[in-house]
């Protein structure tokens, strides 16, 4: 901090007036200007801009803030979309006010013809310093509060799931255990099913089936390193940590096929660690479960297939011999 000036600071208005008056070193008096009409013209620009955007109407993509998916993919997507869009509206409001003030200051206090040197500088103005400390603090606390509220709602365990699926991430594929029906769907590692040209055959992706409109609980685990279970259109992802079980709770509300990815850099084939989620009717779901049963895939691919089962904390015996 530089030391304050020995004399009292002039008020903002006095400083601004001083800035606009002819200064020493200028060449003659300034001709009168139609200041008010100029200001009005500048003020109209952002107003016209906002009106034009509003009148143009908004597409569904714009209304959802260009997030993937559409409305109502799960019971949580509306909440996430609302947090995202409303945050942007607040931030754009702050942006428009800030940009407007910058442009206003640049235009109104620009160097006039014949002026030299620096204008009167504004510093140590307590009302302004308090303003630009308190307002961002309110914004950050507000974003924190709304995020915490929505996260708590999405993370809350509603209990009594209709469908409970255990998902194991592994380098580089996914295993799905349908715990209620006691069947499983093993994922063949992507590095073993690439096309000759190195591309991935998306028709053979590991696929998780879920019945529409049912309470789903996903238990999320890893067989080796940290992965992340991300269904893009569900607008949610969760880390898969070795020797840890995380959970996701949601109700898929729209029949369709959704793309899933690993969202945690996990090694050479991370980018190809893809899967699909098919949200289907209850009848189609039962048909798929029966198909897995007919293949003899009954039981559970549990943690005994973890590749790091000999690491400390993974439950392996440490006694040699
Ligand atoms: Cu991964």
Task: For residue 172, report the distance from its CA to the centre of ligand 1, in Å.
Answer: 6
As a whole number of angstroms, the distance between CA 227 and CA 174 comes to 10
Task: For residue 174, report the distance from its CA to the centre of ligand 1, in Å.
Answer: 9
The predicted pLDDT at position 88 comes to 94
The predicted pLDDT at position 310 comes to 64
pLDDT along the chain (321 residues), means of 10: 41 43 43 58 69 70 86 94 95 95 93 87 90 94 97 96 97 96 93 85 91 98 96 97 95 97 95 96 98 96 82 56 42
Evaluate the omega torsion of the peptide bond into residue 172 and state whether it is cis, within 30 degrees of 0. yes
CA angle 224, 182, 303 (to 5 degrees): 20
Ordered by start, the domain boundaries in the chain are 163-300
The predicted pLDDT at position 28 comes to 44
3-class state of residue 147 by DSSP: helix
The predicted pLDDT at position 65 comes to 87
Q: Which fold has domain 163-300?
A: Immunoglobulin-like (2.60.40)
Taking residue 182's Cβ as centre, other Cβ atoms within 10 Å add up to 14
* Tokens matching residue 203: 């028709």
Task: For residue 262, report the distance from its CA to the centre of ligand 1, in Å.
Answer: 5
As a whole number of angstroms, the distance between CA 207 and CA 37 comes to 65
Task: For residue 270, report the distance from its CA to the centre of ligand 1, in Å.
Answer: 5
The predicted pLDDT at position 280 comes to 98
Task: For residue 231, report the distance from its CA to the centre of ligand 1, in Å.
Answer: 13
* Tokens matching residue 8: 């009292």
The predicted pLDDT at position 263 comes to 97
Beta bridge partners of 249: 217
pTM (2 d.p.): 0.77
As a whole number of angstroms, the distance between CA 67 and CA 84 comes to 9
Task: For residue 191, report the distance from its CA to the centre of ligand 1, in Å.
Answer: 13
Taking residue 319's Cβ as centre, other Cβ atoms within 10 Å add up to 5
Taking residue 110's Cβ as centre, other Cβ atoms within 10 Å add up to 9
Those residues with Cβ within 8 angstroms of residue 135's Cβ, 6 or more apart along the chain or in another chain? none
As a whole number of angstroms, the distance between CA 31 and CA 77 comes to 60
* Tokens matching residue 295: 């293949």
As a whole number of angstroms, the distance between CA 238 and CA 244 comes to 12
Task: For residue 264, report the distance from its CA to the centre of ligand 1, in Å.
Answer: 6
Task: For residue 239, report the distance from its CA to the centre of ligand 1, in Å.
Answer: 10
As a whole number of angstroms, the distance between CA 279 and CA 282 comes to 9
């Amino acid at each position: 901090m530089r030391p304050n000036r020995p004399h009292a600071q002039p008020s903002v208005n006095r400083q601004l007036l001083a800035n606009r008056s002819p200064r020493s070193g200028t060449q003659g008096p300034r001709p009168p200007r139609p200041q008010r009409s100029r200001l009005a013209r500048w003020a109209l620009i952002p107003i016209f801009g906002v009106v034009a955007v509003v009148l143009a109407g908004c597409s569904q993509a714009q209304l959802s803030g260009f997030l993937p998916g559409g409305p109502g993919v799960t019971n949580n997507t509306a909440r996430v979309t609302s947090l995202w869009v409303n945050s942007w509206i607040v931030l754009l409001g702050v942006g428009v006010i800030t940009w407007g003030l910058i442009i206003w200051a640049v235009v109104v206090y620009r160097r006039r013809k014949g002026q030299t040197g620096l204008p009167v500088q504004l510093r140590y103005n307590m009302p302004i310093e308090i303003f630009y400390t308190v307002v961002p603090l309110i914004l950050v606390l507000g974003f924190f509060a709304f995020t915490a509220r929505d996260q708590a709602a999405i993370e809350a365990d509603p209990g009594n799931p209709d469908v409970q699926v255990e998902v194991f991430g592994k380098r580089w594929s996914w295993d799905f255990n349908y715990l209620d029906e006691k069947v499983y769907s093993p994922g063949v590692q992507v590095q073993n099913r690439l096309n000759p040209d190195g591309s991935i055959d998306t028709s053979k992706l590991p696929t998780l089936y879920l019945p529409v409109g049912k309470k789903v609980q996903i238990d999320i685990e890893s067989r080796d390193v940290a992965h992340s279970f991300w269904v893009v259109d569900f607008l949610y992802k969760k880390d898969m940590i070795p020797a840890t079980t995380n959970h996701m709770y949601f109700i898929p509300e729209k029949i369709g096929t959704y793309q899933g990815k690993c969202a945690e850099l996990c090694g050479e084939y991370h980018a190809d660690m893809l899967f699909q989620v098919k949200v289907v009717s209850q009848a189609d779901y039962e048909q798929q479960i029966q198909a897995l049963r007919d293949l003899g895939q009954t039981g559970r691919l549990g943690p005994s297939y973890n590749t790091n089962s000999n690491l400390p904390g993974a439950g392996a015996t440490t006694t040699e011999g």
